[in-house]
Amino acid sequence: MSEKARIKVNDNGSLRITGEVELIDAEGNGFQTKKSFSLCRCGHSSNKPFCDGTHRKVGFESRPRAK
């Protein structure tokens, strides 16, 4: 039985994905991923859809909280 995947919305940064998921592009082709990886949320990564840390350089700010 596979473990439930988790997506964490990091403050001022990426979406951290942990667990078994399939990441595909608009044509249905799969990206190679590790068991844990980060997706860009700021729109400035040079390696989209993955986060490359650029959010820190551009001063991305977003700290959403679940209510």
CB of residue 58 vs ligand FES: minimum separation in angstroms?
Answer: 8
User: How far is 42 from 29, CA to CA, in rounded Å?
Assistant: 23
Q: What are phi and psi of 43, to 5 degrees?
A: 85, 5
Which of 37/41 has CB closer to ligand FES?
A: 41
For ligand FES (CB under 6 A), the number of binding residues is: 12
At which residue do the structure tokens 């951290």 appear? Answer: 16
Indicate whether 17 belongs to the interface with ligand FES (CB under 6 A): no
Binders of ligand FES among residues 35 to 64 (CB under 6 A) are 40-42, 44-45, 51-55
Amino acid at 53: G
